[in-house]
A and B are shown apart, each in its own frame.
Chain A
Amino acid sequence: MGSLKEKHEAQESGFFATRVDALVNWGRKNSLWPMPLGLSCCGIELMAMIGPKFDISRFGAEAARFSPRQCDLLIVAGTLTWKMAQACRTIYDQMPEPKWVIAMGVCSSTGGMYDSYAVVQGVDSILPVDVYVPGCPPRPDAVIDALLKLQKKIERESPLHRLLHEPGTPDERGTGSLLRQPNAAVVRNELDLHPHAPGARRTASER
């Protein structure tokens, strides 16, 4: 509550501050350098987006560096598995501030069609996500739309306020808790077991 009030005051009082914010945001949003984390099929559509027909460089996102230290936009394109989760989080942590995350495709948004033992049910279990793009895979146009939405989101930020008033806080945008309980399906009753497993039953009425 307190921080909201301060923010309101800052925005109300500072014409200069809002102009600086707008300038910084304009610079940031028009030069989002993506870090393509092409994990599976969405990675192919990501490559198509960087390719000549859809051409993400029109929006300033041309320099798709493969080193996280040089990027500010992490595009998680594809299915995240638990084996890969540590690497993904390390990549996110290595990116310098400010950074944003687009969860491209349903696999990274919610786990997609894979509700299995090895798949993270949404990359927002381990990272804060700014824009979710549904689709399997989403057309490159859809991801460009996500980029434009992210640009609008960046326009609403106030970097000067953050710099002056909250310099020490780590930036944990997006979901509040970083590790929801995905796959919390520990076997609760016999309906959860595989039909071939001993003791399993198929319907609630069977017993």
Chain B
Amino acid sequence: MTSAEQTAERVHAALANLAAGDGPAPRDGTLTLEVSRGSLHAVLERLKEQAGFETITMVTCVDHLGGRRSEPRFEVVHQLLSIEHRDRVRVKTRVASDDASVPTCTDLWPGASFMEREAYDMFGVTFEGHPNLARLLMPEEYGHHPLRKDFPHQGIEPDRLYKEWDRERRARAAREQAGGSVR
């Protein structure tokens, strides 16, 4: 595993003229960069092409509503892995809740597709340029973003979709029975 200094050197060399501040040092020693939404895609591209981060580990969100620094609300976190150099880097972007959108990285790593879909499903953060930004885990017609802090743990009418289907099913069964299916 390369040391933290070597990682930082390589990363900063790759991101020569892009604005990327160092985030607060996290407890696991991973180099963290804080970037603005505008330079996110360029930063990720440089990290992939020049700093040797071949693969992406995760794309997720953190909702800071009610926390110490609650605006901008959503923090989108990308974590990359370099197999050759055996190290990782974390790239963070903050977006406000009324403008929760970041550029996609599926053109760099197609494997980020499900990661971004899940972040959209759970938080409502959209990824511009994603080929198929649909819900991943919740049903398609679900109307809420569950992992937001203002969404209750037990949910809000989770059975509404099922009730509609159940009503149709019973109506259909009643019609069949009345309409003369002989038993």
The distance in angstroms between the C-alpha atoms of A115 and B139, with both chains bound, is 18
**B165 interface residue (CB < 8 Å to A):** yes
- The answer for the CA separation of A82 and B151 in the assembled complex, in Å, is 17
For B173, what are the chain A residues with a Cβ–Cβ distance below 8 Å? 170
A85-B162, A86-B162, A86-B165 known; A183+B183 contact, CB < 8 A = no
Contact, CB under 8 Å: B139 / A193: no
Q: Are A117 and B150 in contact (CB under 8 A)?
A: no
Partner of B155 from the list A93, A118, A168, A198 (CB cut-off 8 Å) is A118
Q: How far is the CA of A93 from the CA of B159 in the complex (A)?
A: 19
Tell me whether A185 and B139 are in contact in the complex, defined as CB-CB below 8 angstroms, given that A179-B163, A195-B66, A196-B67 are known contacts. Answer: no
Pair A183/B166 contact, Cβ less than 8 Å: no
Cα A198 to Cα B165 in complex, Å, equals: 34
Smallest Cβ distance from A127 to chain B, in angstroms?
A: 11
Q: How large is the interface on A (under 10, 10 to 19, 20 to 34, 35 or more residues)?
A: 20 to 34
Return chain A residues, CB-CB under 8 Å to B166: 89, 126, 178-179
**Contact indicator B169/A193 (Cβ below 8 Å):** no
Chain B residues near A204: list those with CB within 8 A.
Answer: none
95-153 of chain A: CB within 8 A of chain B: 115-118, 120, 125-126
Residue in A182, A198, A200 whose beta carbon sits within 8 Å of that of B159 in the complex: A182
- Bits for A185-204, please: 1 = Cβ < 8 Å to B, else 0: 11100001111111010000
Q: Which secondary structure dominates chain B's binding surface?
A: loop
> In the complex, what distance in Å separates the CA atom of A168 from the CA atom of B144?
42
A186 and B157: CB pair below 8 A? yes
Chain A residues in 8 Å Cβ range of B149: 194, 196-197
For residue A167, CB closer than 8 A to chain B, the reply is yes
- A83 in contact (CB, < 8 A): yes
What are 5 A-to-B residue pairs whose CB atoms are below 8 Å? A86-B162, A117-B154, A187-B152, A195-B66, A197-B149
B residues within 8 Å of A by Cβ? 65-67, 137-139, 144, 146, 149-159, 161-163, 165-166, 169, 173, 177, 183
Known: A120-B159, A194-B149, A194-B153. 13 other contacts (CB 8 A): A82-B159, A85-B162, A86-B165, A117-B144, A117-B153, A117-B154, A118-B155, A167-B183, A168-B177, A170-B177, A186-B156, A194-B66, A198-B65
